[in-house]
Amino acid sequence: MQSLIDKIRQGRFFDFPGGVHPPGRKTLSNQDVIGKCTLPEHLYLTVKQHIGAPGQLQVKVGDEVLKGQALTRSTNPFALPVHAPTSGKVTAIAPHVSAHPSGLAELSVEITPDGRDKWIDLTPIPDYQQLPKTRIIEAICDAGIAGMGGAGFPTHIKVSPKKDVEFLVINGAECEPYITADDRLMREHAWQIRQGIDVLCHLLNPGHVLIAIEDNKPEAIQAMQVACQEKPDYIICPIPTKYPAGGEKQLIQVLTGREVPHGRLPIDVGIIMQNVGTCFAVADVIFTGKPLIQRVVTLTGEAMTKPCNVWALLGTPICHLLKHAGYEKAQQGVQRLIMGGPMMGFSLASEQIPVVKSTNCILAPTQQEMTLPEEEQACIRCSACADACPVNLLPQQMYWHSKAKELDKAQDYNLFDCIECGACAYVCPSQIPLVHYYRVAKAQIRQQEEEKQKADKARDRFEARKQRLEEEKAERELKHQQAAEARREAMHKQGDDPKSKVAAALARARKQQTSDETTAAPETADKVAAAIARAKARKAAVQQGDSAPSDTADTAAEDKQAKVAAAVARAKARKAATQQGHAAPSDTADTAAEDKQAKVAAAVARAKARKAAVQQGDAAPSDTADTAAEDKQAKEATASKSKTTKQVKPKDKVSTQVTAADTPVKPAPADDREEQKRQRVAAAIAKAKQQKAQKDRQQASSTADMPAEKVAQPLVEVDEQKKQRVAAAIAKAKARKAKLDMQSSADNQQDKTDE
Amino acid sequence: MSLLYALLAIGLLALLFGLILGYAAVRFKVESDPLVEQIDAILPQTQCGQCGYPGCRPYAEAIANGDEINKCPPGGESTIRQLADLMGLEAKPLDDAHGSNDVKKVAFIREDECIGCTKCIQACPVDAIVGASKQMHTVISEECTGCDLCVDPCPVDCIDMVPVKVTASSWRWQLDAIPVKTID
Amino acid sequence: MSLRIASSPHQRSQRSTAELMRLVCYCALPGFALQCWFFGWGSLLQFLIAAVVALGTEALILELRKKDFEKALSDCSALLTALLLAICLPPLTPWWITAIGAFFAIGIAKQLYGGLGSNLFNPAMVAYVTLLVSFPVAMTSWLPPQHLAEHPYNLVDALSVIFTGFTGEGYSLTQLRSDADGFTMATPLDAVKTDLSLGLTLEEATSKGQFNNGLGIGWFWINLAYLAGGLVLLKLRAIKWQIPVSMLGTILLVAGIMHLSAPDLFASPWFHLLSGGTMLGAFFIATDPVSASTTDRGRLLFGAGIGLLVVVIRTWGGYPDAIAFAVVLMNMAVPLIDYYTRPRTYGHQRQRGKP
């Protein structure tokens, strides 16, 4: 450790690989003192001039602002304010071409100076050593200071590290050719730079301060040495001139031999680096209270008659500076304006581009000075680029892969460690714009990564949505199920009777279908149901027994009997439907849902339709049955039988009435959800009734019609179509009834047999 | 007899190498995601259905089952190249029948025209539209994949597909495309 | 009048590809001149034939590829290839062999691979190897140094032999090859190889007329001239030191060890270094940037590989000289070498030599 410091003090430095020695051309602009520039007509303050987040605008069009007044503000730690560089009026807040290689327009505040150049009240804090560090950092932040070396990283973030600082490196290397802004600043304002360093030392408390200056600037080195005389901790390091020694990572390597690990920051190896311009600005803030509103800009290149350094207000359009430096527009065959140095600067697309915090140079070369890029030739893999690369990359491989758009392979060659210093393209004998290829590839990779992230997010959202929809569906189904269960439970609670009756009816229906009437439905769990079923079965058996002889007596009897039975069953169904019709009104009362009622109505209508059909069928078979059944004995037998069973009939009827009364209760809640189930139940009921119909067909036919009329009433409101159908059904039913009445009187005997 | 020896030797060698290969296959087996997952990871997840499948995953499954890899316009050339890489196929140009990969766009609802029907909300595969019934809707442009699916359902045609604006951070060094200011 | 947009850097060093190629050509000239001095005008004619065919082929193929051939021709790479090929060919090789070689070098070995910068192999060496394999007799028909020859020939004779097979006086190539004693004179390398394989000792083998102090007459000076040219290239930073140094060092080391272990059976390292095309190969052929390794460590490996192969092939192989074979073989290994010798990038802990 101590030996490292000794080594540095002795001026023995490390070397970094590669590097180039382009002609410096610094004497072009470093001969005169930093000049003052006149106020331009308009100033364009780009809202975001640093790395990080932009602040919120604090002014609006028409506002009068004073020199040094903050135009933006933000609570975001990565946001820096911009300040009015002079007093004047905000004349526009609109996108203006920005100091970015893309030349895209960015939100800017246009200020028209009023010429008074009136400052706001400044609050210097010369007693900073007595103040808490946060107060100083706040002052630096509020002054809008960003790294002035080129990157524009917010300084207040850099001066509040979480780790111990071993070396504070002050970067005055200025390795780019042509640029002399830092050189002049050090020569003329070494004292203030030292004050700035003092402030930074107070904040960072570093082990050592290394002030690195390339040895092609002897005057600056001397000035700094004089300024730092009484500070033995401040070591002036005249480092060998080699591009890009001023790069952050390269300078660290030159001074300490350390490397900043990939993806980490200098602070991770105990080093903080600040540009001399930043130190100057920090001193400005602390000792005069002035925010960052101007900076030294080198105006150079052979196309300028008076190349010089100048204090340029931030926001000054380039054309104003060019005028100051005597740029000879007309004499240039091809006009080129470069912001920054010839190695890393970018060409400007407009003369209206304003000076920003990181603008250190405006270069206007003549065509002879910097020849226009020739057409790129094939790479001959001479690896001159690899020899020039300061970070030991293999530019020819990265070029190859970038060109072929094999981005993953380019990345595999550590494309993102490229510092874009341009040394490779500088030496390339085939005139390949290597750095451009890397920039494009990097942008593409970043974009791809962004898209990938976006795609992942979209996939997550898509899947979340799918899941949500599925969950909703499942929930709905669950609700249905629960409702159905609740219904069933409610039925149980209301009474086993109706339910059991339904069950019994179902059982009977099954029996009917198979026309095996002897088999009762003993399996019905309910006792009552079983009992009823048994009773019914018995009755049916009796009837069967009754009809059977008459059938056997007659040749056609059996056939007809069956037909009659079916017909009667259908008639019974009609009656059931009627009962259901009763349910309808209760339904309307229970549930407000219109469609459900419609469904009920539909069911009713269907039942009616069936009834109508039944009636027609009913009439025919009974007629034939009458004519066919000539056996009087049989008739008498049945008649007598009917008399005997007549006493049973009222009881039976009561039970059916009960069923009828209760069944409507059942479908009503059932309707709440499932139409299908309801229909099935209705059908079951109908079928159940069919069996009963065998016993009192007459009654069924007569009683069914009356409720049918009643049913029609509520149905009217329900649905036009259904109403019509129902009406038709009713009409038919009535017609049938009339016919049936006549017939029933005529064939009373036949009817009685059924009983 | 020597023939027998030769056969025996060759046979033994074959057996030996077979065993070595078999062992290597087991020992150095590369665990990898199921193919469908890998394909799905490459697809841009716009869920736009331009490929003819209802979403990216179904298309991923289709590719795994041998469908063409050039049916994804939002993914464009780079997706096709990655798929070709993964599947060991030749990269081919985008199938124009499924649309073209032009500028990236996002949906934009002209809010004063929106009637709040929620139809677009239901159509959006990534839930990037917010709003409630009878209330104005709006697109979260950050989340919008530009799939186009909300445009058709809109009964009042108030949804536009707007190209995403290039910013300094999304700029891709197209130096030729910079509009150069002419000075006289 | 509009502003010109370009990507940085805006400044460039002035060296160009064409300049590099020309520089290499110029530096090969002293050796080439000495070759003509010792073995007659034939080599110059070979160069002219090769250059015409090479440039014509390049122009033709670039035209077919719809590229700007004027620009491509001006980079002098085809000219350099022709020069290297001509240097390697025996001076009085029939013209059609040379033409085939030049065509093969440019058409097959260079343009079919994608043109300048994309060829995997050194074009001149691929062509030479092809010719050597196809026309072994013609390709080993070297002449004795002219002051030892029975029938020294002049420019007109050379022209006549190359295009008709006989000189104006009716001498055939075989006659031209015989020395003052009427024996056909082999190259020193060939002679040593043959004699050693016949069981003679090295001393006996190198006692013949074409030897002087154990080294081939003429070849010694030619090699020294190429060495000088190579040093100039190094000085001008047109080539890097790694390949020549590691190649010559390996030859010195390997041949030296072998010679010390059995002085009678193996040629001395000086003989290896100053015979045949060793110096030419080390400074002008192996350093061809396109087909050589591009990393510093890779270059060391590449050079060492060539050196080793040269000694091995010269000692045990079927051909007297081995530069071409060694270079082409090592060209094949370049992608592998490059992959495993990637330098450690700044900030990365160790080199990611993962396969």
pLDDT in tens, B16-61: 999 999 999 888 877 766 788 888 888 888 888 888 888 888 899 8
Integer Cα distance of C219 and C225 in angstroms? 10
**Which residue is associated with the tokens 């003679």?**
C200
CA distances from A416 to A435, A438, A444, B107 (A): 12, 9, 12, 34
Q: How confident is the model at residue A618 (pLDDT cuts 50, 70, 90)?
A: very low
Q: Read off the pLDDT of residues C306-341 as tens digits, 9 standing for 90 and up.
A: 999 999 998 888 887 789 999 999 999 999 999 899
Closest CA of chain A from C21, distance in Å = 11
Q: Read off the pLDDT of residues A673-683 as tens digits, 9 standing for 90 and up.
A: 455 556 555 55
C11, C67, C68, C74: best mutation site toward chain A, by most A Cβ within 10 Å?
A: C11
CB A345, CB C3: distance < 8 Å: no
Integer Cα distance of A560 and A539 in angstroms? 20
Integer Cα distance of C111 and C106 in angstroms? 6
Q: How confident is the model at residue C177 (pLDDT cuts 50, 70, 90)?
A: confident
Closest CA of chain A from B96, distance in Å = 22
CB A237, CB A255: distance < 8 Å: yes
Q: Indicate the residue of A351, A440, A443 with minimum beta-carbon distance to B181.
A: A351
Q: Is the per-residue pLDDT at A691 higher than 80?
A: no
Q: How confident is the model at residue A584 (pLDDT cuts 50, 70, 90)?
A: very low
Q: Indicate the residue of A98, A440, A457 with minimum beta-carbon distance to B172.
A: A440
Q: Indicate the residue of A17, A253, A348 with minimum beta-carbon distance to C3.
A: A348
Token pair of B151, please? 């445009």
Roughly what angle, to the nearest 10 degrees, separates helices A434-494 and A395-403? 60
- Cα dihedral A456, A462, A467, A469, rounded to 10, equals 170
Q: Indicate the residue of B46, B78, B168 with minimum beta-carbon distance to A98.
A: B168
Return the pLDDT at A95: 92
Return the pLDDT at A666: 41
Q: How many CB atoms lie within 10 A of CB A532?
A: 26
Average pLDDT, chain B: 84
Q: How many CB atoms lie within 10 A of CB C52?
A: 14
Closest CA of chain A from C304, distance in Å = 19
Integer Cα distance of C281 and A279 in angstroms? 57
Cβ–Cβ below 8 Å for A351 and C3: yes
Return the pLDDT at A199: 93
Q: Is the per-residue pLDDT at A659 higher than 50?
A: no
* Range scoring the smallest mean pLDDT among A432-436, A476-480, A623-627: A623-627
Closest-approach residue (CA) in chain B for C5: B175
Counting residues of chain A whose pLDDT is more than 90, the rounded percentage is: 39
Cβ–Cβ below 8 Å for B181 and C2: yes
Q: Indicate the residue of B44, B45, B166 with minimum beta-carbon distance to A104.
A: B166
Closest CA to A567 of A721, A749, A405, A693: A693
Q: How confident is the model at residue A721 (pLDDT cuts 50, 70, 90)?
A: low
Integer Cα distance of C167 and C152 in angstroms? 11
Return the pLDDT at A604: 52
Q: How confident is the model at residue A554 (pLDDT cuts 50, 70, 90)?
A: very low
Decide which of C153 and C184 is more confident: C153
Q: Read off the pLDDT of residues C83-126 as tens digits, 9 standing for 90 and up.
A: 999 999 998 899 999 999 999 999 999 999 988 888 999 999 99
Per the rule left: phi > 0, alpha: psi between -120 and 50, beta: everything else, B39 is alpha
Q: Give the fold, CATH level 3, of B35-98.
A: 3-methyladenine DNA Glycosylase II; Chain A, domain 3 (1.10.15)
Closest CA to C191 of C275, C278, C105: C275
B158: which residues sit within 8 A by CB, 6+ positions away? Answer: B109, B110, B111, B113, B114
**Mean of pLDDT values over A13-38:** 91
C2, C7, C10: best mutation site toward chain B, by most B Cβ within 10 Å?
A: C2
Return the pLDDT at B4: 93
Closest CA of chain A from C201, distance in Å = 44
Burial tier of A374 (Cβ tally within 10 Å: 0-12, 13-18, 19+): exposed
Q: Is the per-residue pLDDT at A69 higher than 80?
A: yes
Cβ–Cβ below 8 Å for B45 and A103: no
> Half-sphere exposure (CA, 13 Å, Cβ side) for A350?
17
Cβ–Cβ below 8 Å for B178 and C7: no
Return the pLDDT at C73: 79
Residue B40's Cα: distance from chain center in Å?
A: 7
Integer Cα distance of B69 and B53 in angstroms? 13
Return the pLDDT at C7: 83
Strand partners, A309: A298
CA distances from A705 to A574, A694, A702, A714, C280 (A): 9, 17, 6, 16, 123
B38, B42, B45: best mutation site toward chain A, by most A Cβ within 10 Å?
A: B45
* Of the options 2.30.110.10, 1.10.730.10, 3.40.50.11540, 1.10.150.110, the CATH number for the domain spanning A1-28+127-289: 3.40.50.11540
Q: Is the per-residue pLDDT at C183 higher than 60?
A: yes
Q: Indicate the residue of B45, B167, B168 with minimum beta-carbon distance to A459.
A: B45
Counting residues of chain A whose pLDDT is more than 70, the rounded percentage is: 65
Return the pLDDT at B168: 74
Indicate the pairing of strand A88-97 with strand A105-113: antiparallel
Quick check: helix, strand or coil at residue A177? coil
CB A558, CB A547: distance < 8 Å: no
Residue A443 forms contact with B (CB below 8 Å): yes
Integer Cα distance of A383 and A401 in angstroms? 15
* Range scoring the smallest mean pLDDT among A183-187, A292-296, A406-410, B172-176: B172-176
Closest CA to C217 of C245, C188, C197, C237: C188
User: What's the domain range around C56?
Assistant: 17-185
Q: How confident is the model at residue A576 (pLDDT cuts 50, 70, 90)?
A: low
Interior angle at CA A46, CA A43 and CA A47, nearest 5: 125
Q: Read off the pLDDT of residues B101-143 as tens digits, 9 standing for 90 and up.
A: 667 788 899 888 888 888 889 888 888 899 888 888 899 988 8
Cβ–Cβ below 8 Å for A458 and B126: yes
Token pair of A611, please? 């009834």
Return the pLDDT at A652: 44
**B9-18, Cβ contacts within 8 angstroms, sequence gap of 24 or more:** none
Return the pLDDT at A497: 59
**Mean of pLDDT values over A698-726:** 48
Q: Is the per-residue pLDDT at A521 higher than 60?
A: no
CB A135, CB A97: distance < 8 Å: no
Token pair of B158, please? 């108030």
Residues of A within 8 A of B171 (CB-CB) are 100-102, 104, 443
Strand partners, A90: A111
Counting residues of chain C whose pLDDT is more than 70, the rounded percentage is: 95
Which stretch of DSSP H or E encloses residue A545?
Answer: helix A527-553
Q: Indicate the residue of B44, B179, B183 with minimum beta-carbon distance to A451.
A: B44
Q: Give the domain ranges of chain B.
A: 35-98, 103-166
Which DSSP category does A130 fall into? Answer: G
Q: Give the domain ranges of chain A.
A: 1-28+127-289, 392-494, 500-754
Token pair of A671, please? 């309707």
Integer Cα distance of A495 and A501 in angstroms? 10
Q: How many CB atoms lie within 10 A of CB A677?
A: 14
For every residue of C24-84, DSSP letters joined together read HHHHHHHHHHHHHHHH-THHHHHHHHHHHHHHHHHHHHHHHTT--HHHHHTT-HHHHHHHH
For every residue of B60-123, DSSP letters joined together read HHHHHTT--S---TTTHHHHHHHHHHHHT-------GGG----S-EEEEE-TTT-----HHHHH
Residue A469 forms contact with B (CB below 8 Å): no
Q: Indicate the residue of B180, B182, B184 with minimum beta-carbon distance to C5.
A: B180
A248, A327, A377, A436: best mutation site toward chain C, by most C Cβ within 10 Å?
A: A377
Decide which of A520 and A279 is more confident: A279
Instruction: Provide φ and ψ at A467, rounded to 5°.
Output: -60, -45
Cα-only R_g, chain C: 21
Q: Read off the pLDDT of residues A626-653 as tens digits, 9 standing for 90 and up.
A: 444 444 444 444 444 444 444 444 444 4
**Mean of pLDDT values over A547-575:** 51
Strand partners, A300: A363
Decide which of C305 and C166 is more confident: C305
CA distances from A119 to A285, A289, A454, A492, C26 (A): 14, 11, 47, 90, 69
Residue A417 forms contact with C (CB below 8 Å): yes
Q: How confident is the model at residue A717 (pLDDT cuts 50, 70, 90)?
A: very low
Integer Cα distance of A248 and A237 in angstroms? 15
The answer to whether residue C285 is domain-embedded is no
CATH no., domain B103-166: 3.30.70.20
Q: Is the per-residue pLDDT at A588 higher than 50?
A: no
Interior angle at CA B8, CA B4 and CA B13, nearest 5: 150
Cβ–Cβ below 8 Å for B181 and A350: yes
Integer Cα distance of A677 and A435 in angstroms? 75
Q: Indicate the residue of C2, C4, C6 with minimum beta-carbon distance to B182.
A: C2
Q: Per the structure, how many domains does chain C have?
A: 1
Average pLDDT, chain A: 76
Q: Is the per-residue pLDDT at B147 higher than 70?
A: yes
Integer Cα distance of A624 and A619 in angstroms? 9
Closest CA to B131 of B159, B161, B162: B159
Which C-chain residues 235-264 have CB contacts (< 8 A) with chain A? 240
Which DSSP category does C237 fall into? Answer: T
Which C-chain residues 76-135 have CB contacts (< 8 A) with chain A? 77, 115-118
Q: Is the per-residue pLDDT at B177 higher than 80?
A: no
For every residue of A354-393, DSSP letters joined together read BP-TT--EEE---TTTSPPPPPP-------HHHHH-TT--
Residues of B within 8 A of C7 (CB-CB) are 173, 175
* Range scoring the smallest mean pLDDT among A318-322, A503-507, A709-713, C193-197: A709-713
Residue B81 forms contact with A (CB below 8 Å): yes
CB A414, CB C342: distance < 8 Å: no
Q: Rounded to a whole number, what is the distance in angstroms from the first to the last CA of chain A? A: 121
Return the pLDDT at A641: 45
Residues of C within 8 A of B176 (CB-CB) are 5
Closest CA of chain B from A562, distance in Å = 58
> Half-sphere exposure (CA, 13 Å, Cβ side) for A225?
11
Q: Is the per-residue pLDDT at A749 higher than 50?
A: no
Return the pLDDT at C52: 95
Chains touching A (3+ CB pairs < 8 Å): B, C
Cβ–Cβ below 8 Å for B56 and A443: no
Integer Cα distance of B155 and B173 in angstroms? 41
Cβ–Cβ below 8 Å for B180 and C3: yes
Q: Is the per-residue pLDDT at A540 higher than 70?
A: no
Return the pLDDT at A503: 64
Chains touching B (3+ CB pairs < 8 Å): A, C
Sheet holding A64-65, edge to edge: A43-46, A105-113, A88-97, A64-65
Q: Is the per-residue pLDDT at A609 higher than 60?
A: no
Q: Read off the pLDDT of residues A124-182 as tens digits, 9 standing for 90 and up.
A: 888 888 989 899 999 999 999 998 877 788 898 888 888 889 999 999 999 999 999 99
Q: How confident is the model at residue C227 (pLDDT cuts 50, 70, 90)?
A: very high
C2, C5, C12: best mutation site toward chain A, by most A Cβ within 10 Å?
A: C12
